[in-house]
Amino acid sequence: MSVTRTLTALTLAATAALTTTALAVAPAHAGGAPDLGIVTVDHQARLTADRVSLGGTYTCTVPDAAVASGPGTIGIELVARSGASTSGQVAVTCDGTTRSWTVTAPAGALRQGRVWVHGHLEVPDAAGNTPWNLFDATVTVVGRR
């Protein structure tokens, strides 16, 4: 078999494998996750001797049209360039009203400076599913330690 035929056969096999994988995954993502709400993140997190607090605002709704309000959760993880991290969560009420949120977590090895915030808003529906909306931000940790 020539080099050209071998490369063509490999290309066709790879294309077929990618097409099959894409077709197998597509039904699992049909429709995508519902838009549950909006979360804002303050520009600063407050550091005390052993705790760090971060807040913002949120607006969310339950993904079921028949349910007017419901519980939800905002969870965050703060990660410093040094690798130090902490996480926490807070329960929220999802009824379409804009409210404030604050998560207070152990500071661990976090120090003053920039951190990345990776967060999620999750809202269970009546069927027991818990879809998530993800959010990311960069904030400055201020305060003293």
pLDDT digits (tens, 9 = 90+) for 65-97: 566 567 889 999 999 999 999 999 999 988 888
Q: What is the pTM of this model?
A: 0.71
Indicate the Cα dihedral angle 29, 32, 34, 35, nearest 10°: 140
What six digits make up the tokens of 116?
């990345």
Indicate the Cα dihedral angle 132, 133, 134, 140, nearest 10°: -120
Residues 6 or more apart from 42 whose CB is under 8 A from it? 54, 55, 56, 139
